[in-house]
Structure 1
Amino acid sequence: MAILTLLVFFSPLAIDIYLPALPTMANDFAVSHALAQDTITYFLFAMGIGQLFAGPLADKLGRRTVALAGISVYGLSALLAWGAQSIEWMLAARLLQGLGACATSVAAFATVRDIFGEKESGKMISYLNGAICFIPALAPILGSWLTQQFDWRANFSFMALFAAFTGVVIFFQLRETNPNQSGPAQNVFKLSRYWAVLSTPSFVFHASLCMGAMAVILAYVTSAPIALMERMGLSMDAFTFWFGINAVVNILASFIAPKMTDRWGTRFTLVFGVMVLSFGALLMLLLSDWAHPLAFMLPIFMSSIGFASILGCAAGKSLEPFGDKAGTAAAILGLFQMSGAGLLVGLMQRIVPEPQWLIACHMLLLLPALLVLFSQSGKQWHHNLQHSV
């Protein structure tokens, strides 16, 4: 789990470490805040699309091989971003970096499925997400220090160093967990592999839940620097403080969610998560006129609880029906979760530019999921994991 945690650190590190520097980047490149925010959405979009290729390759070539390839691409693209002289150069580097991060993510979650099986993978993913949440707590602090001591480019040199360190650890410590991998095959990207996953209704529903939950967090991450630093006048250090508090909430929620699942089952945990997000949306709208950081962050704390309750359960249920196609299933799940969320937030930012309203809309988008969870099909999908109180 320690090694897998290193693998899943790549994505949140590439997003959270330079968040305090987003306004500075926008000024240096002389572009709008929306274009600076696109460095995050481009990264996530590439991360999702790339998993369509990384997933089948992880099934065919092995998790370890794909992980090492992804680390190499990630490190090189971080160096390209470090040397970017225009926003176009930066966006291209971030697209490439997203492709590298997707490979490490697919390898990690497919390995979880290999080791822990269909029954335990959901809980392990929740614990893994809890570990991931240390990055939003610590990375902005580090990024703020690097930006103030050097400049915003130092954040990307740190990413390159992290890739080099993790690459050495993975090379010597990670064993292959997929016993069925084989050499390259012409049919590695055969459409039937994707269709076998996409034609499973429970996968589509739970992957959509992951997408909606990730969109809430992405809307917060991209909007927080504007809402807190630009609109409310918080300093970089004050922004990092509030961001860190929310990360702690997310960490605690991610470690509590598996306990909730053990006691009351996956269906109850998902219903709870959707309801918390809905209440958070209403609170965000009610407090939208109060120009205080707590008015913005209190609903965000609720969104973190809802996100943690949904993501682990939904991801685990998405991958549950698949064995030898776990890599492909993890890839399509990543497409929903990353590219889907990135496109959804990018579109909504153009329609609803106000940060509080944008985040509230994304929270409410998951509300219709309750209709499915209380339907006969929804009850059946979660029947085997329901426990009596």
Structure 2
Amino acid sequence: MPSTPRYAPFYLFMLMVVFSPLAIDIFLPAVPAMAEALTVDLASVQALVGLFVLSMGLGQLLAGPMADRYGRRPLAIGGILLYILSALMGALAFNIELLWISRLLQGLGTCAIIVAAFSGVRDSFPQDKLTALYSYLNGIICIVPALAPLLGSVLTLQWDWRANFVFMALYGAVAGWRIWHRLPETRPEKTQSHGALISWGRYAPILGHPVFQFFSIMNMLAMSLILAYVSYAPEVLMVEMAQSPMAFALWFGTNAVINISGAFVAPTVIARLGKRGGLALGVGLCLLAMVGWVMLRDWAHPLAFMAPVFASSIGFCFLLAISGGAALLPFGERAGTASALLVCIQMSGAALMIALAALLPLTAPLRLALLGALPLLWWGWSRYRGGYGRVCEAFS
């Protein structure tokens, strides 16, 4: 029988969600230098993003049930330890294969931290606050891309690319110390934690729920668009458009500031428009980005690539603010498992979408344009097949 839960302060969850974007964004300005130092092509280094995301997503299938059975706190602490060790492994790697392994392990550690954070928020705060709180967490996540590439540029220029992985380990140690001392166990006593950790019976009721289906796929499509931008940006801006690492960091940071603003403004706009209106606005902004990438694809200027990114990033804020909370609302008694499935679909699905897009004989802007159209297509398909009425229950 779990002990009576204690409610955790929100700033601890803010510290926990930083682990993921830090691992993705800090080394991006060093991608060309890493390829040169390890004598591999750019695609091999770009794969570090996809491997991390794939591992982080698939790891949810185990991390979620573990959060419900063993609690949020031990999962978070274990994930942080694995994150630190894998970051140090990356710093010491002497070939690309060891870097790939370190990123797979780092993704597993990160997934444990994220599951603990999102299920902890679900435990600690009332349902009517979740949309705003998830949006604020997304805003915190977006602060890291504003600063991490700038920091990564400095670390790479001052030392070399390995310094970025050392910094990840240092952040893990400092944040982990605070979380160790301040994070209580928030798991509710009524949490379902019996049976096998991984079983179809545990996941089937969640996967079969039409509300979860709609919002988890919408989450995944939004994440696909943003992660594809992260994967393509170093090649497009630094290689094709000959931008310096510092200029790349400034463009990347500008988008992150826009993303931060969108994440913190989204709850207010959604409160005025309603969730259906906010969802329509998010889908519409992704569609606007698609048009921009198609129309500006032949203009060899960073703004031609980044202006549509700005629009899609704001749309991303609205889609995640609504979809993240709405997908979990029906599952209060097993929030850890539901959160795990949500992030698994979001991250691993996004990695798969990016991999499939890479197979198409298209330029990076046109691949992004294709991904930008998918939220509208998914919304339209849901309405066509008649399940959208059930989905609207989440808006009431």
- Scaled by the length of structure 2, what TM-score is found? 0.94
2:305 is equivalent to residue 257 of structure 1? no
Aligned twin of 1:381: 391
Aligned counterparts of 1:301 and 1:3: Cα–Cα separation in 2: 29
2:237 is equivalent to residue 198 of structure 1? no
Q: Write the letter of the residue equivalent to 1:75.
A: I
Aligned twin of 1:151: 160
2:282 is equivalent to residue 273 of structure 1? yes
Q: CA deviation at 1:191?
A: 2.3
Among 109, 122, 125, which residue is 2:118 paired with? 109
Aligned twin of 1:240: 249
Tell me if structure 1 keeps the 8 A contact 2:211–2:394.
no
Aligned counterparts of 1:218 and 1:208: Cα–Cα separation in 2: 15
Aligned counterparts of 2:89 and 2:194: Cα–Cα separation in 1: 32
Q: CA deviation at 1:118?
A: 3.2
Q: Structure 2, unaligned stretches of length 5 or more?
A: 1-9
Aligned twin of 2:226: 217
Aligned counterparts of 2:220 and 2:230: Cα–Cα separation in 1: 15
For each residue in 1:125-180, what CA deviation from the matched residue of structure 2 results, as whole angstroms up to 9, or x when unmatched? 01110111100000001000000000000000000011111111111111111132
1:120-159 alignment, distance < 5 Å: 120-159=129-168
Q: Structure 1, unaligned stretches of length 5 or more?
A: none
Change (3 A) 1:183 1:384: closer
Aligned counterparts of 1:272 and 1:378: Cα–Cα separation in 2: 17
2:306 is equivalent to residue 290 of structure 1? no
91-100 or 340-349: which moved more? Answer: 340-349
Q: Write the letter of the residue equivalent to 1:195.
A: A
Q: CA deviation at 1:34?
A: 1.1
Aligned twin of 2:30: 21
Q: CA deviation at 1:383?
A: 4.6
Question: Secondary structure of the equivalent of 1:325?
Answer: helix
**RMSD (Å) for aligned C-alpha atoms:** 1.7
Change (3 A) 1:384 1:30: closer
Change (3 A) 1:379 1:265: farther
Aligned twin of 2:238: 229
2:174 is equivalent to residue 165 of structure 1? yes
- Scaled by the length of structure 1, what TM-score is found? 0.96
Q: CA deviation at 1:371?
A: 1.9
Aligned twin of 2:185: 176
Q: CA deviation at 1:300?
A: 0.4
Tell me if structure 2 keeps the 8 A contact 1:59–1:181.
no
Tell me if structure 2 keeps the 8 A contact 1:266–1:382.
no
Question: Secondary structure of the equivalent of 1:288?
Answer: coil
Aligned twin of 1:83: 92
Aligned twin of 1:313: 322
Q: Write the letter of the residue equivalent to 2:375.
A: L
Aligned twin of 2:353: 344
Tell me if structure 2 keeps the 8 A contact 1:215–1:341.
yes
The size of the alignment, in residue pairs, is 386
Among 362, 367, 375, which residue is 1:358 paired with? 367
**Percent identical:** 45
Change (3 A) 1:80 1:384: closer
Tell me if structure 1 keeps the 8 A contact 2:289–2:309.
yes
For each residue in 1:29-52, what CA deviation from the matched residue of structure 2 results, as whole angstroms up to 9, or x when unmatched? 111111111001000000000011
Q: CA deviation at 1:119?
A: 3.1
